[in-house]
Every structure is written in structure tokens, then in C-alpha cells.
Amino acid sequence: MDFKIALAPGDGIGPEVVAEAVKVLKKIEETFGHHFAYTELTVGGASIDKWGVALTEETLEKAKQSDSVLLGAVGGPKWEHLDGIRPEQALLGLREGLGLFTNLRPATMYEELKDACPLKDELVKNGFDILIVRELTGGIYFGKNGTSEDGTYAYDTEEYSEAEIRRVMKVGIQSALLRDKKLTIVDKANILETSRLWRKIAEEMLKEYPEITYNYLYVDNASMQLVKDPAQFDVIVTSNMFGDILSDEASMLTGSIGMLPSASLGEGTLGMYEPIHGSAPDIAGKGIANPLATILSVAMMLEHSFGLKEEAKTIENAVKTALKAGFRTGDLLNGRTDYKPLSTSEMGDKVIAFMQRA
């Protein structure tokens, strides 16, 4: 089958990890007989350098014409001084322009990486497998905002409509039905009107699904519970900002932020896939970045946008096998000094070596 993939390497380590993901896709082509056609997009800081904006209309149009988008990372101190222009505007522009309103962020404890988890052994002895479903195009990141002329006052507004909440709750419910039928809604309903609306709509919708066990947690309690007992969670559904923060916290429980993929989805099959780590400008160009989150993002792309579940599982199994065999990039060593870490490309090569059709 033929698929069109828009590659947006971005800034920092983005081009390095995307290069490894493309190597994995080439192996999928060879193994399963598919064909992937690539279009490269310039986004983020790279786009600012070239065109003065983080995302051009032409770039967005190219993304819309693809079957999926694979993003590396955007941002860095080089562009922090710019007034009103930020590399991250490319992310917001792509999400909004492509109609991607839901972000799926899995956080899985690999048995082989338990020694890299910062929690005590007894807290993760049975592992955990959490899916955070984050609303992506509403909330405080997209609400009214501004700064006074004298710079002494600023505001950001949290706004949600019923339609925005219903569509992401639907994804959370569907995800729970496919997993352990457990759902946690995270909010701040004791303070925020928007959170009270979330609860009202969630309660209405969940009446139709008696098979789902659900609960509500305030975001501050949820952040504590993630550290105290991560295995209690299955699917978490929450707002844009809360999901952003909680998924980063959950990522560190897995051993490294370099392990977590994500999928941004809308109504159709077009999606944007990216590792949740940033551009890491301090290690850019050194060839030491962990490519596994980007490679696992490719697996999510194959499953969610292309419907290629066997191919996705082939990648996931290869990552697990590589870790089980003891192969690590530097971020996964947890202080070990008796092992020479693999480079970015070497880690990609190890995954490819273990990719076998079931």
C-alpha cells in the first residue's frame, strides 16, 4: 500500500531522531511491501530562520495533503529573544490547522527499564501501562490572552465549550473500552468553572457505559497519585494544560522522557505523531539522543492513521527486544559506568535488527 508522510524534523535533536524513524519505516517497506512517499516540512525555529514565521501557510497545506505528519521537535534558546514569534507556534498551528483535538500519550513501564525508574522498586514491581488522553486545541493555551502596554499585567483565559469536551471524552471512553475499562477524569472542579463543565458532561456520557469504572481526581492529587501508585491508572482524560503537565511527569516514571511517543488525532485518519521530549539543544548534533520515542511514534502512526496493526506491533516488539538484550542510549543508563551507551544511529540500527514479521 502507498502512504504519504510529511516529515517535520524541526530543531535541535529533531532531525536526528526523525532520521532513525525513517530507517525503521524503510524496514517496514521491505518487510511488508508498503511504500511510503515523503515530503519534508520546515517548521519551528528552522522556519523562523528561513521565512520569519514558525509555520507558513504553504507548509500547513503540504501537511494537510499528507496521510500523516511525523514531527521531531521544535524550539531552543536561539529563538527565545524574539518578540511575539516562537518556534512552538508551529505545534499549535499544525494541531489547529489539521483539526487535531486529541493527544494520546502512553506511558508504559518496560520490565527492562525498571532500574531507570526513580520510584522505589515496590511501587513499580508490577509495572504500569497508562494512556493519557489530552484535549489539544482548547483550554488556556488557546483562550484569550494579552499583556498591558506597560507590561505590568498579563492574562490567559481558560475556555471550553461542550462540544470540545464531548469529543475528547468520547476518545477517552473508547480508549477505556479497548483496555481495562477504567477511566480517571482529572480536573480542578473545586476551583474552575471549566472543570465543573467537564464533570457535568462526563457524568452524562458515562451513564451510557456502565461497564466502565470511573473516578474524578483534582489535578494536584492526580500528580501525587502518579508518583505514589502509578499502577492504579489505566486511562486518564483531561484538559490541555493538565494533560501537558501530567504526561511529562508520567514520562519520567518510565525511566526517560526519551521513551514516550504521542499521537495527535482528529475526526479522520490524518494524525501528527511526535516524541514528547523537546529539542534538547544541549545535546543536538552529538549523536547521543534517544530515538526510541520517535520510533514508537511511528508505530502509533502505522496503527492509528494507516490501520497497520501488525506492522506497528513489529516495531513495538523490536524495541522491547532491543531493551531486553541490554542495548541503551545514555539517558537509560541510570548512572551505570560499566556500559558504553549506544549512539542515536546505533540504537536505531539495533531496533531494525530485531524487526521480524510475526
Q: Which of 110, 188, 234, 273 is catalytic?
A: 188
Q: Which of 67, 129, 248, 349 is catalytic?
A: 248
Place of cell 521544535: 74
Nearest to 14 by CA among 72, 71, 70: 72
Helix/strand/coil for 236: strand
Q: Is 188 a known active-site residue?
A: yes
3-state per-residue secondary structure call for 182-219: EEEEEECCCCCHHHHHHHHHHHHHHCCCCCCEEEEEEH
Q: Which of 49, 220, 229, 282 is catalytic?
A: 220
Q: Is 248 a known active-site residue?
A: yes
Grid coordinates representing 11 are 530543531
Count of CB atoms situated within 10 Å of the CB of 270? 20
Q: Is 234 a known active-site residue?
A: no
Q: Which of 160, 244, 331, 350 is catalytic?
A: 244
Q: Is 2 a known active-site residue?
A: no
Angle at which helices 240-253 and 219-228 cross, to 10° = 10
Nearest to 241 by CA among 136, 332, 317, 166: 136
Distance CA 179, CA 185 (A): 16
List Cα–Cα distances, 346 to 20, 27, 290, 352, in angstroms: 9, 15, 10, 10
Count of CB atoms situated within 10 Å of the CB of 227? 14
Name the β-bridge partners of 133. 104, 237
Q: Is 141 a known active-site residue?
A: yes
Q: Which of 110, 141, 160, 214 is catalytic?
A: 141
Helix/strand/coil for 134: strand
Q: Which residues are catalytic?
A: 141, 188, 220, 244, 248
